[in-house]
């Protein structure tokens, strides 16, 4: 154990939960404790910081959680925190508790909070955890792989009933305004069409694709639609009306956010949490810890928030070309 100035850190999870959040919490706690720090876990993200709802996390408090979905610290979106008064209250609370830094686990909203708190004098580290994989500064977000595998499992189940009936299934998946889940899961389940917000599409094109593959002997169809596009019931009706193929829409919903994290999510979560605490130990805050070509690096939060990311168009074009 090393002698250091950073004695106590806080950890919280905020925004939508994602499988692998617990693995980050565990990594943060174990890394900090091994460096002789004390760790405070705030409940329900910034809500717990505002209302002083917290518990001290010891070595055993994070036992048996690496394999669990959800977050042992609970999560929320906190309107009160998103005001200058709210940030001041949270910073004052940190000072009261002797907190030298915070690890904030979540998405862009969580990082905006972490940036505000850093500017108010509490060094914060953001760790990208969201099933959407929509954090521009990071190649990958914890929870994405688990969500993809869940979508894949559900779509495989839908495929058996779809093919028995010579039907078409329109499957709507999460992702807010990002089509990463729709694209990769669509490829993984062999979707006939993948409809995402990032690429202009028309229902006529979708219908034409279904018709052309029907002519080539295909009897059942999977159409993957991203949440940002939505309207999956309408899309299903239009397909049925135009083709005569019985079509059902399934909105997968929050099941995509649950379940045990995959190996990939557990390992990335552990690496990011470890890196984050190492930054705080050096007194470095206002950073987001990310992966870039499988390397763990960090960016200034403001810089990270200004970055742009879109879906992989090569993947999209490949999927379109081979789904005949």
Residues near ligand F6P (CB under 6 A) are 16, 107, 130-132, 174-176, 227, 257
Spatial CA neighbour of 194 closest among 308, 323, 294? 323
Residue among 19 and 123 whose Cβ is closer to ligand F6P: 19
The 8 Å CB, 24+ separation contacts for 153-158 are 154/250, 154/252, 154/255, 155/185, 155/188, 155/189, 155/191, 155/222, 155/224, 156/189, 158/222, 158/250
Dmax (CA) of the chain: 73
Q: Select 168 or 252, whichever has its Cβ closest to ligand F6P.
A: 252
Residue 31 vs 130, nearer CB to ligand F6P: 130
Q: Distance between CA atoms of 18 and 178, rounded to whole angstroms?
A: 16
Distance CA 14, CA 174 (A): 18
CB nearer to ligand F6P: give 35 or 231: 231
Least distance (Å) between residue 176 CB and ligand F6P: 4
Q: Which is nearer to ligand F6P, 78 or 174 (CB)?
A: 174
Residue 204 class from Cβ within 10 Å (0-12 exposed, 13-18 middle, 19+ buried)? Answer: exposed
Q: Provide, rounded to whole angstroms, the least separation between the CB of residue 257 and ligand F6P.
A: 5
> Among residues 176 and 248, whose Cβ is nearest to ligand F6P?
176
In the bound complex, what is the minimum distance in angstroms from residue 181's beta carbon to ligand F6P?
A: 8
Nearest distance, CB of residue 81 and ligand F6P, angstroms: 16
Distance of CA 313 to the CA centre of its chain: 20
Q: CA-CA distance, 235 to 271, in Å (whole number)? A: 41
The tokens for 304 are 């990270």
Residue in 100, 132, 265, 298 annotated catalytic: 132
At 187, is the secondary structure helix, strand, or coil?
helix
- Nearest approach, Cβ of residue 65 and ligand F6P (Å): 21
Two structure tokens written together for 91: 């910073």
Which string of b and e fits 51-66 if b means at least 16 CB within 10 Å? beebeebeeeebeebb
132 included as an active-site residue: yes
CB 94 within 8 A of CB 3: no
Shortest distance, position 227 Cβ to ligand F6P, whole Å: 5
Q: Find out whether 203 and 234 touch, Cβ atoms under 8 Å.
A: no
- Annotated catalytic sites, by residue? 132
């Amino acid at each position: 154990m090393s002698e250091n100035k950073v004695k106590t850190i806080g950890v919280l999870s905020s925004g939508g939960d994602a499988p692998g959040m617990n693995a980050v919490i565990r990594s943060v706690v174990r890394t900090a404790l091994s460096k002789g720090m004390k760790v405070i876990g705030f409940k329900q993200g910034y809500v717990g910081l505002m209302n002083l709802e917290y518990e001290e996390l010891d070595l055993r408090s994070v036992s048996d959680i690496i394999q669990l979905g959800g977050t042992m610290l609970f999560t929320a979106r906190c309107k009160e925190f998103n005001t200058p008064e709210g940030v001041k209250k949270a910073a004052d609370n940190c000072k009261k508790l002797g907190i030298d830094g915070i690890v904030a686990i979540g998405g862009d909203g969580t990082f905006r909070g972490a940036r505000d708190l850093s500017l108010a004098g509490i060094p914060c580290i953001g760790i990208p955890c969201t099933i959407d994989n929509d954090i521009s500064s990071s190649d990958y977000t914890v929870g994405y792989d688990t969500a993809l595998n869940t979508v894949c499992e559900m779509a495989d189940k839908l495929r058996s009933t779809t093919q028995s009936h010579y039907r078409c299934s329109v499957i709507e998946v999460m992702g807010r305004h990002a089509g990463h889940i729709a694209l990769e899961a669509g490829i993984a389940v062999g979707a006939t069409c993948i409809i995402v917000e990032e690429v202009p599409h028309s229902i006529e094109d979708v219908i034409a694709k279904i018709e052309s593959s029907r002519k080539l002997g295909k009897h059942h169809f999977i159409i993957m639609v991203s949440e940002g596009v939505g309207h999956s019931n309408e899309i299903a009706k239009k397909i049925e009306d135009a083709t005569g193929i019985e079509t059902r829409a399934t909105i997968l919903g929050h099941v995509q956010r649950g379940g045990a994290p995959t190996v990939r999510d557990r390992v990335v979560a552990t690496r990011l949490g470890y890196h984050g605490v190492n930054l705080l130990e050096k007194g470095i805050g206002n950073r987001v810890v990310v992966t870039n070509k499988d390397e763990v690096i960090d960016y200034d939060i403001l810089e990270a928030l200004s970055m742009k990311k879109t879906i992989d168009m090569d993947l999209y074009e490949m999927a379109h070309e081979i789904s005949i």
